[in-house]
Structure 1
Amino acid sequence: MMRKLGVVYRDGRANRVCGGDVRVVGICGLRGVGKTTLAKVVYNKMRSLFQECSFLEDMKAEEVKSLQERLIATLQKRRREPLDSCSAGIKNMENSFSDMKVLIVLDDVRDDQQIKRLVGKLTWFGPGSRIIVTTDNEKVLNGYDEAVEIYDVQPMEPHHALQLFRRYAFLGEAPQDYEYDSLSIDIVKAIGGLPMAIIHQASNLSKKRNDKGTWRYTSDHLKNRLPEDISPCFMDSYESLHSHLQRMFLDIACFFIDKDERIPPYMWKACDHYSPLGMDSLRKLHWLEKGENNELRMHNLIRDFGRDIIKRKVNHKRCRFWNHSDALEILDNPKGSESVEGIGLTVEEGHVDSFKCEGFREMPNLRYLRLDRANIQGETKNLPPNLRWLDWRDCRSIPELHDTHLKNLVILDLSRSLVPQDPKIWSRIMEVWPTFTF
């Protein structure tokens, strides 16, 4: 971090700022990953190297004009005075600090307008000035003409996360009781390395150190549910997304983790839900990661947040199903299931589950259907006509597909399934679907 800021740092001390350029560094990462904590540590170590400093915290709760007033007053060491407008604030910034070496931290920036009206031009500040921006959305940094250094804060490694948990739950000591230690490991694993959530859970459980029942309940609860304090942290970012991007995000969270990222866009384009910059936007939110082989990766808490949005509705009002028991409930009683858009199931090894095509007839909006390692029965003409993606891999039996009405299908995956080898059947299939992806 100090290297990106151009600061000489030795023996735990910041010694000097190198160069006369004005530099911006964005501290980016998931909500709750520790961006603000890092910014405070860096700010306190560096502040003695600058003429004036300002740390604007909790910016989302304040209007930009008010933030301008606060920043100007702090840097000028004067009493805060009201501004007539944001334009007046910008003019004041342009004329007041061009000869002053300043350190400014803008914490939790949500909107690029905050940056443009507070630190929009590097020429507003004197040589050697440094600006640090913490944000969970890198797109807010696109407004600068100059290159912005990015420092990505990653979730904690498991052993560091466990140390943090122990610090707050057991005052830093490893628990003497083996079960408490085992439960601690399970809880930290479920949380997934986010310091904010780790501290919250550990602090609550520290008051219940003699109540194993509460610890067991917490461990089991976190395996299946999002921590209660996490959802509000992500909801405002989700609600700010375009509806197309929301649907892409929910599809990935429910169905496409570890899937090749080049494949789902075929379906999204066919459904008019595709945003060409969608993947990039989700990555800039740190909600999506790209694996070494183009596979889609997502932090467990982000995945659970997306799935929790779906699970808030009663079964017959839900639009996506990935859980076996929930899906079977809707298939056993499909009446009123018009809202269902996607079902993705994989039958466990050693189990024999059968699904009838007729069971999906009451789902006119179904566009994604994955039933891997299943027995598929019935006639494909009963499948809903809006299907775009049909995935029947490793199936023990499937019905013939040549007599079908699925004109909108763009992806068909029958890998390792027992399918007829008659070339005449496949030539008829290609007549029905001349352009889709196998």
Structure 2
Amino acid sequence: MGGIGKTTLANIIFNQLCPRFGKNCSFLEDVSKMAKRKGLKTLQEKLLCDISFFGVACKILDIDHDINMIGETICNKKMLIVLDDVDEAYQIQKLIGEQPLYPGTRILVTTRDKSVLNIRGFKYKFEPYEMVQLSDKDRIKLFSRHAFNDDSPPDDYYTLSRKIISTADGLPLALQVIGSSLFRENREIWVECLDKLEEAPHKDVLATLKISYDALERNEQEIFLDIACFFIGENKTNPMYMWKECKFYPEGAIEVLINKCMIKELDDDSLWMHKQFRDLGRVIAKDQHTRLWDIDDIIDKLNSTEIKGRVQALHFNLRDSSKGPITVTSEQIKRFPCIRFLSLCELPIRSVWIAVMLFLLDLPLPIINGLRQLVRGI
């Protein structure tokens, strides 16, 4: 996932290994961004310049023809090449080529999408390494270096620091960004920062994570938002029925989300998502007004006579509510014409059956289809 330290680790490995390869080294940063902004030709020119001892910028006229120049150079020398932040398989093909590599050559690729490493016709297979989260000790050290220029917080900031660190859920980018923003700030700012982070991640972290979200197809985005809002820790079986009914093509979408490290599917078929991605999804859902899970927000919308055409899902989490019994009428639900998911938590089975029967007697077909998931769950 974005911000977990792929480029940082690749840089460290590159610098450690460079002495073994002499001048036959090249580190191509932000491959996906550079390919979109300046074209692959620019990256090919830099790579060829790095590994061919020309000493001046090499001009490439044709991407497909001059990949042969790179291939011939690579196959005759032991190389160390890093392709950072690749998002399409063809980028690897056009930069490395398909000729045999010289013995001892090392190619490192960082990516948010491991499916790009499956390249048809490629002579070599990548050995995957999935980034792991920082240990508790390293989280404190990383945050403290940016917030205090030290390896640990001062005693009077220790508890507050731990609370702020917990909001990042071990994501290095978040720890660096938050720590740097708090450097030399007073305690009141720290307390305010904690309150804000408990509502949503830091804006710079959100921007990095949203790159992965923006790259998804619409059906994949819908499933991502559903998981973030409702299904973390839940078995995937029931939501799969709903997603299939809604033509979200969930089998392929789930695989895409897993490949992009946005979710994980655990051994018991339950769905897992990093806390920062969860918060990103909920921020997006709130901005879009498509999903409601806060009981106060739901009650406000139910009491409004306006038509809520953007709302797709309602999640009544009554176990977290101090409101007491809540009555919902079919007339209120009719004001949500696009609803496809309704969740009623902690209700007696008999009450749920009665509610479903009342809804089915009086609701139009689209809403009945949205309630099928509830009936299946019972």
TM-score normalised to structure 1 length: 0.78
Pairwise CA distance, 1:120: 3.6
Matching of residue 101 in structure 1 with residue 63 in structure 2: no
Which residue is 1:201 aligned to? 178
Match of 1:364 among 325, 337, 344: 337
Which residue is 1:301 aligned to? 276
What SS does the corresponding residue of 1:156 show, helix, strand or coil?
Answer: coil
Pairwise CA distance, 1:177: 4.1
Q: What does the per-residue CA deviation read over 1:361-395, in whole Å, with 9 as the maximum and x for residues that have no partner? A: 111211100121357787323445324xxxxxxxx
What SS does the corresponding residue of 2:315 show, helix, strand or coil?
Answer: strand
Matching of residue 91 in structure 1 with residue 68 in structure 2: yes
Match of 2:113 among 125, 134, 137: 137
Which residue is 1:39 aligned to? 10
CA contact (8 A) 1:33 1:195 kept: yes
Which residue is 2:27 aligned to? 55
CA contact (8 A) 2:341 2:370 kept: no
Pairwise CA distance, 1:159: 2.6
Higher share in strand: 1
Matching of residue 146 in structure 1 with residue 130 in structure 2: no
Q: 1:223 to 1:147 in 2, by over 3 A?
A: same
What SS does the corresponding residue of 2:276 show, helix, strand or coil?
Answer: helix
Match of 2:90 among 105, 113, 117: 113
What SS does the corresponding residue of 1:229 show, helix, strand or coil?
Answer: helix
CA contact (8 A) 2:67 2:95 kept: yes
Q: 1:128 to 1:338 in 2, by over 3 A?
A: same
- Alignment-mate amino acid for residue 346 of structure 2: R
Match of 1:323 among 281, 287, 294: 294
Which residue is 1:24 aligned to? none
CA contact (8 A) 1:265 1:274 kept: no
Which residue is 2:306 aligned to? 335
What SS does the corresponding residue of 2:27 show, helix, strand or coil?
Answer: strand
CA contact (8 A) 1:158 1:188 kept: no
Which residue is 1:265 aligned to? 240
State how far apart, in whole Å, the 1-side matches of 2:325 and 2:83 are: 55
Q: What does the per-residue CA deviation read over 1:81-129, in whole Å, with 9 as the maximum and x for residues that have no partner? A: 2111211331211222212100000111122221110014251x31111
Matching of residue 373 in structure 1 with residue 373 in structure 2: no
Q: For the pair shown, which has the larger CA radius of gyration, 1 or 2?
A: 1
State how far apart, in whole Å, the 1-side matches of 2:144 and 2:135 are: 14
What SS does the corresponding residue of 2:58 show, helix, strand or coil?
Answer: coil
CA contact (8 A) 2:318 2:346 kept: yes
Pairwise CA distance, 1:407: 6.0
- Alignment-mate amino acid for residue 412 of structure 1: L
State how far apart, in whole Å, the 1-side matches of 2:191 and 2:267 are: 36
State how far apart, in whole Å, the 1-side matches of 2:98 and 2:142 are: 39
CA contact (8 A) 1:270 1:410 kept: no
Match of 1:412 among 369, 374, 377: 374
Pairwise CA distance, 1:292: 3.2
Which residue is 2:266 aligned to? 291
Count matched residues.
361
State how far apart, in whole Å, the 1-side matches of 2:144 and 2:369 are: 57
Which residue is 1:385 aligned to? 365
CA contact (8 A) 1:357 1:383 kept: no
Q: 1:39 to 1:407 in 2, by over 3 A?
A: closer
Q: 1:228 to 1:260 in 2, by over 3 A?
A: same
Q: What does the per-residue CA deviation read over 1:185-205, in whole Å, with 9 as the maximum and x for residues that have no partner? A: 111100111111111111121
Q: What does the per-residue CA deviation read over 1:197-244, in whole Å, with 9 as the maximum and x for residues that have no partner? A: 111111121121xx1110000011101112110222122322221111
- Alignment-mate amino acid for residue 386 of structure 1: P
- Alignment-mate amino acid for residue 277 of structure 1: G
CA contact (8 A) 2:342 2:370 kept: no
State how far apart, in whole Å, the 1-side matches of 2:204 and 2:321 are: 39
TM-score normalised to structure 2 length: 0.89
State how far apart, in whole Å, the 1-side matches of 2:7 and 2:321 are: 49
Which residue is 1:233 aligned to? 208
CA contact (8 A) 2:88 2:116 kept: yes
Match of 2:187 among 209, 212, 218: 212
Higher share in helix: 2
Pairwise CA distance, 1:55: 0.7
Matching of residue 157 in structure 1 with residue 135 in structure 2: yes
Identity %: 30
State how far apart, in whole Å, the 2-side matches of 1:175 and 1:273 are: 47
RMSD: 2.0
What SS does the corresponding residue of 1:149 show, helix, strand or coil?
Answer: coil
Match of 1:171 among 109, 126, 149: 149
- Larger RCO: 1 or 2 (CA < 8 Å, sep 6+): 2
What SS does the corresponding residue of 1:310 show, helix, strand or coil?
Answer: helix
CA contact (8 A) 1:340 1:366 kept: yes
State how far apart, in whole Å, the 2-side matches of 1:33 and 1:107 are: 14
State how far apart, in whole Å, the 1-side matches of 2:315 and 2:95 are: 47
State how far apart, in whole Å, the 2-side matches of 1:290 and 1:407 are: 27
State how far apart, in whole Å, the 1-side matches of 2:195 and 2:43 are: 43
- Alignment-mate amino acid for residue 374 of structure 2: L
Q: 1:198 to 1:350 in 2, by over 3 A?
A: closer
Q: Structure 2, unaligned stretches of length 5 or more?
A: none
- Alignment-mate amino acid for residue 279 of structure 2: D
Residues 2-13 of structure 1: matches in 2 within 5 Å? none
